[in-house]
Amino acid sequence: MKKLTVIFILLFSLKIFAQVSPKDTIRVENYPRDSVSTKKAKSEGQVLTEIQEANAAPAAMKFNPTKAGLYSAVLPGLGQYYNKKYWKIPIVWGGIGTGVGITLWNQKQYTKYRDAFIAQLNGQPHEFSDVPGITADALGRVQDRAKRQRDYAIAVTGLVYILNIVDAVVDAHLYEGRKDPDLALKPTVIYDEFGKQNSKAGLSLSYNF
């Protein structure tokens, strides 16, 4: 009898514990009910402004042609950097660097033949004294050619320098024109209504105002 009573008590206890679940518990906390939210609702004007800003087109970049020209005049290629045309910088540096290198080389040649020419006129030994057939006239012609090539190299280098400035100014000035939908330059097919030849390819320049 005692055993049956103990077994009955154990079964009854297990049944009670099985019915208790953490999900059945109720959590009671005291929250303040008199609190006031500090967040204010947006007005219709603010909402409309945010929508317009989100849908607005991105602002177009503007470059100052005067600044671009001054930058290129101070340092060739700097105006192209200002215009964000980075691929033009090696071209500018290569053109000017090549011109300066050719100028210096021809100046060295001119100085060498000039010294030899003066020494030949004065009957003094020089670098080309052991070369047969060297005369003052030959040395004079060689020095003149070296001087002429040096002057050409200086002129070409100066032209590249000026073109570098012009390119920066024009590129900055025409930037907005390239972004203008009213101004377009594109390939097209030209139809000649009165001619007997086939259609020809060409360029179409459209300007709307």
What Rg value do the Cα atoms of the chain yield, rounded?
Answer: 44
Token duo for residue 82: 């200002």
Local structure of residue 85 (DSSP, 8 states)? -
Closest CA to 189 of 179, 197, 181, 178: 197
pLDDT of residue 8: 57
Q: Is the pLDDT of residue 110 over 70?
A: yes
Q: Is the pLDDT of residue 114 over 70?
A: yes
Rounded percentage of the chain residues whose pLDDT exceeds 90: 32
Q: Could you give phi then psi for residue 35, rounded to 5 degrees?
A: -75, 150
